[in-house]
Amino acid sequence: MAAGLPIIAADVGPCREVLAGKKSLTARYLTGEKGREPRIRRTPVGWLLVEDLTLRNLDRLSVKIPRQVLVAVSGVSGAGKSTLVLDGLVPLGEQYLYPAARRTQGKVPGKLSGMDGIRALKVVDGGAIGTSDWATPATYTGIWDLVRDLFAATRIASERGWKKWRFSFHSREARCAVCEGKGRVKVSMHFLSDVDLPCEACAGRRFNEETLSVRFKGKNVAEVLAMDATSASEFFDFHAVLAAKCRLLAEVGLGYLALGQPSSTLSSGENQRLRLARELGETPAGRTSGKEPGKNPGKNAGNETLYVLDEPTVGLHTADVERLMAALHRLVDRGHTVVVIEHNLDVLRGADYLIDLGPEAGAGGGRVVAAGTPEEVAGAKGSVTGRYLK
């Protein structure tokens, strides 16, 4: 935080007083004022069947995974959740969809059926969205491509004969010659680790003065990149596609993120939600439109994608978890299948179907303890997860 800026707290004081107050969003979730709304559970339109999976503590495990619903795989740490999903379901699905994966992955000790109609499998993880500081939320989501179109259409750019490529980080004519469009430079400290500092030549703006002289609605490209997603959605409200892409970032809890923030500064949770925002912006709907969310209007038209996420709520506030769940449900409402490995009770409560592994970790786990709706798992004997859900 910059020196001199105060820390503004919504509420401060003894826990009992904060919980009784109305300022703290955290308190409103803790007291039950927000969240935990009941959902209409979707009905599966088909099933994936993993059979005879023998990996680590899974011994010839067979499990049914419903399609076109939100599925959460739960259980104590070490129960076999990641082994089932990431080491079993994912490679088996990839080998079904992509024949080349059979040569690179080798034989997976198990079988998978029920994939008919699924066109793709995507693991939405928290890995970096790019390998350089040229990668930003704007470039990753396609926002920057549309912004460059707008700047290229300005009167000044047209008079100079500039096309959209002239506003690219990779354009030698456009970018700062010192930092090469990255906005930062590495300073060698010899016996110490290198220090990453803002570029003095362009003051971190990435572009040279000639490029920055072109303005759209009073802002140059650097000022657009400095806008957060929420502000950008209002600034571009005249452009339906561009505004929608910016709003999607806000809808997955990234409204505060600057469009031009370097990818190296993003957390794994931010990377994961960026991937979700891009999927929501690009994934075709598999179901017919005009149906009530949360209900299955029928089988899709062959556009179904199988999405897999591994504990996406790590580090998220309860309000952010609520936004994340809304994004996942939107994917399912479009006719896709979402499988989430999770411990978070709000996610488990909001899923359509649970697969609870256990009952213990390691050799004491690797079995399906309970499966069904959250209500059914909550009533299952022997399920540790069920006890907490209940």
If one counts the domains in the chain, the total is 3
Residue 105 has pLDDT above 90, yes or no: no
Compute the distance between CA of residue 218 and CA of residue 227 in angstroms, rounded to an integer.
Answer: 13
Residue 379 has pLDDT above 80, yes or no: yes
Whole-number pLDDT of residue 294: 46
Whole-number pLDDT of residue 41: 94
Q: Are residues 112 and 190 in the same domain?
A: no
Element (H, E) at 261: none
Question: Of 204, 237, 263, which residue sits at a domain end?
Answer: 263
The band of 291, judged by pLDDT with boundaries at 50, 70 and 90, is very low
Q: Are residues 258 and 277 in the same domain?
A: no
Residue-by-residue DSSP string for 176-231: -TTTTTSSEEEEEETTEEEEEEE-TTTTT--B-HHHHT--BTTB-HHHHHHSBHHH
The band of 130, judged by pLDDT with boundaries at 50, 70 and 90, is confident
Question: How far from chain centre, in Å, is Cα 268?
Answer: 9
Residues 6+ apart with CB under 8 A from 14: none
Q: 200, 217 in Cβ contact below 8 A?
A: no
Lowest model confidence (mean pLDDT) among 35-49, 65-79, 246-260, 329-343? 35-49
Q: Are residues 124 and 271 in the same domain?
A: yes
Q: Are residues 143 and 256 in the same domain?
A: yes
User: Best-predicted range by mean pLDDT among 101-110, 184-193, 289-298?
Assistant: 101-110
- For 135-193, how does the pLDDT look when each residue is reduced to its tens digit (9 = 90+)? 999 999 999 999 999 999 999 999 999 999 999 999 999 999 999 999 989 887 777 77
Whole-number pLDDT of residue 284: 55
Element (H, E) at 112: strand 111-113
**Can you give the residue range of the structural domain that contains 193?**
137-263
Q: Are residues 299 and 356 in the same domain?
A: yes
Average pLDDT of the segment spanning 247-264: 93
Lowest model confidence (mean pLDDT) among 14-28, 241-255, 277-291? 277-291
CATH number of the domain bearing residue 68: 3.40.50.300
- Cα–Cα distances in angstroms (integers) from residue 337 to residues 147, 241, 295, in the given order: 33, 26, 14
Whole-number pLDDT of residue 38: 65
Task: Say what the pTM is.
Answer: 0.85
Lowest model confidence (mean pLDDT) among 94-98, 238-242, 279-283, 338-342? 279-283
Q: Let me know if residue 2 belongs to a domain.
A: no
Whole-number pLDDT of residue 8: 53
Name the residue among 347, 281, 352 with its Cα closest to residue 314.
Answer: 347
